[in-house]
Structure formats: C-alpha cells, structure tokens
Amino acid sequence: MGALVQDGIGPLLEMSGARIRGRSRADCPECKRPRAVSFNETAFCCHGIDCGFHGGIGTLRLRLGIEREWLPRPEYIRQCRERERVHDAAERLYVAAHARQLELRETLREFGRMEQAAHEQGPDDPKAWDTLASVYTERPAIEQELDAVESDDPAAVFAILREKGEKR
C-alpha cells in the first residue's frame, strides 16, 4: 500500500457546496454565511457562530463519500526520494547563501573601517583619496550582491553563488 493521493481542499469544499472566495476563504455550505470558512491546504473551519463545519481533507472525503486513493508503492517511493533530494538541495542553497551573506557583510564592515581611516588621515593624504575611491567604487557592487543574496528569489541566489563558485 502506498501513500494517499492528495487532492486540493478547494475542489472538495466546492463539491460540498462551498463557494470559494479567494485563496483561503469560502462561503459556508451549512450556515450559508459568506466568507465564513477559512481554509489552507489540509484543513477548513467555518467561523460562524454555532456552525460545526470544520475539519480536514479526510472529513470532506468522508462527508462526500469519496474513498481514499492510494499511490502505487513505486510511485510513492519515487516521490519520497524526490522530495528528499529537493529538500537537501534547498538546505545546501540556504547554507551557501548564508555563508555568502556573512562574507559580504564583513566586506562592507571592512569598507567602513577603511573609509573611517581614510577620513582620519585627512584631505592632504593621496593614499586616503585612493582608499576612498576604491571603497566608493566597489561598495555598490557588494551591496547589490548582498541584496540579491538576501532576496526571496532562489534562482537569483543560485545564479550568484554559481557565478562566485566559477570565479574561484
């Protein structure tokens, strides 16, 4: 016996008479209150007073008389392995991105120290001007990379980390 085939809860709610009103709200098929049912991928609950319409996918299946469908064992094993592979890849990406964030932040702190030292040397020191030129030239690229690494776009983070790995 394999794993349960997961249907989305939205279609099951609609089959039970609920009208979907956005990503996580529906009209209640029992008490008829509009937008009273909130739901996510696995559970639902009507927030109407004295309404007992709540539960999970199993509750809706039972209510609708839909029997469980099981995946064939080889497909279940394949999906478990794929989920584990994706999870491991995501974890490696997170660790690499975090390490790069720390490197970039340390670089920015070093730029700050260099800038402070250059200002303390005074306007007559040519080395101070060279230091400031270097800091002001390189800092925007470092800040831009840090913004990209800290973004919620895994593809952008992966591209940056891959590019850095190829340059080393």
Share of the chain above pLDDT 90, in %: 68
| Residue 28 in this model has a pLDDT that exceeds 50 | yes
What pLDDT digit, counting tens, does each position of 112-142 carry? 999 999 999 988 999 999 999 999 999 999 9
Helices (H), 16-124: 57-64, 73-121
DSSP string, 69-99: -B--HHHHHHHHHHHHHHHHHHHHHHHHHHH
